[in-house]
Structure formats: structure tokens, C-alpha cells
Amino acid sequence: LEGDLSEERRSHHIVTRLGFLGALWRHLGKDSLLLYRGMVTKKLWGDQRNTFVSSSFSEEVSKSHYLSAPELNGVLLRQNVEVSRVFMTYLETEAMSKQFLEAEAVLFYSADAFF
């Protein structure tokens, strides 16, 4: 891919975004965020290798995911997450915040974390 879709351009965008978010959270006096994740699956819980992990600032939203299919395996997690793992949040996108009430935080995957 070339131009705006080139690997170099996308890498630059990610690094710039991380710099912006780091400055934002430092300005707000935050080193970590209390986040939640609720899931259901047909599979047993295991090590999920992902690039990004979806989570929520809202315990209620995560509980709704957890309770959405009682016939499946479910898990509800709460974790203090270092702000360095945060890629994007609902706070940055007014249109998404108004339309969807999930209070989402998209994180970089970490093998050392619950989620």
C-alpha cells in the first residue's frame, strides 16, 4: 500500500496518537484507568492473542455483555490498566459517544494482563 495507507504512514499515525493520549492522560493526572471487560464464548477461557482488546469504562456495559448469553461460558473482569496501553477511547469521538453508549476503551494487547 502507498500514500496514506502505507505502513510508514500508519505507523506514524499510531505513534502520534499514543503521544497525544499520553499527554492527555498526564494532563488529567492519570497513570492508570479502571476498566471492565465482559465476555461470553462457546470456547473455554484461554490465552487470546489479539492486537487490540476492547474494554469499557462502564461496569454496567460490561455486565450486559457478560449476561447476554447465559447458556455460554462467561467472564466479567475489572482491571487497572496503564494508560500506555490505551489506543483510543469514546472520549475522543463525540459522534460515537452519542450514538453508542458503550464507554469503550480500545487497548493494545498485553500478555501480562487479564485483558
Helix (H, G, I), strand (E, B) or coil at 52: strand
In angstroms, the Cα distances linking 35 to 56, 70, 98 are 6, 22, 20
Q: pLDDT tens digits for 6-33?
A: 999 999 999 998 999 889 999 999 999 9
Give the strand order in the sheet containing 32-41: 73-82, 32-41, 52-56, 104-108, 86-89
What residues contact 63, with CB distance under 8 A and at least 6 apart?
A: 36, 38, 76
pTM: 0.82
- Chain center to CA of 57: 9
Which has more pLDDT, 111 or 69?
Answer: 69
Question: What does the domain layout of the chain look like in residue ranges?
Answer: 31-108
- pLDDT value, residue 46: 63
pLDDT in tens, 69-101: 999 999 999 999 999 999 988 887 776 667 667
